[in-house]
Amino acid sequence: MSETIRVLIPEEEVDKRIRELGEQISKEYEGKQIHLICVLKGGVFFMCELAKRITVPVSMDFMCVGSYGDGTKSSGVVRIAKDLDESIENKEVLIVEDIIDSGNTLYYLMDVLHRRHPASIRLCTLLDKPDRRVKDVKVDYTGFEIPDEFVVGYGLDYAQKYRNLPYIGIVEGVE
């Protein structure tokens, strides 16, 4: 199968928006330390760029949570493949995600993390597809709202390909 990638959000726009998010987060967390939790694998590209633009102290941890596999549609079954390495009790937690569509994964993850008693927990996503939402998830920081298209780049993949694209693109030629 041959896919074509059409640019949806150019690299310059992605960089500019991440810089703006970093400034906003830095202001809102002034005087505090933020504990970033990256949702692997896709979120790592976004989290690294975002962390570089946050001016307050930052610590990081990683989780691998998902419901996709190699397809383009959510399987609906959420599982934790890699849990946190340290406690989040009494920490200012910011979950960093590449994309939110159905909300199933983040709804599950937020519930799991709330039970670990952080001081606060917020959600930052590079991309949001509100038209696909089936679970109500409060997103505190959004890079871009996008249409209901299958996208790749900047950490997002199609069958483990295209994560390394420096822009957000729409995959054409897949169902």
DSSP H/E element including 11: helix 11-28
**Positions marked active-site:** 101
Kindly compute the dihedral angle of the four CA atoms of residues 130, 41, 72, 99, in this order, to the nearest 10 degrees: 10
Q: Compute the distance between CA of residue 53 and CA of residue 96 in angstroms, rounded to an integer.
A: 14
Give 115's contacts (C-beta < 8 A, 6+ positions apart). none
Q: Which residues pair with 5 in a beta bridge?
A: 171
Q: Which residues pair with 34 in a beta bridge?
A: 58, 92
Q: Compute the distance between CA of residue 175 and CA of residue 173 in angstroms, rounded to an integer.
A: 7
The structure tokens listed for 163 are 């994560």
Q: How many residues does the chain have?
A: 175
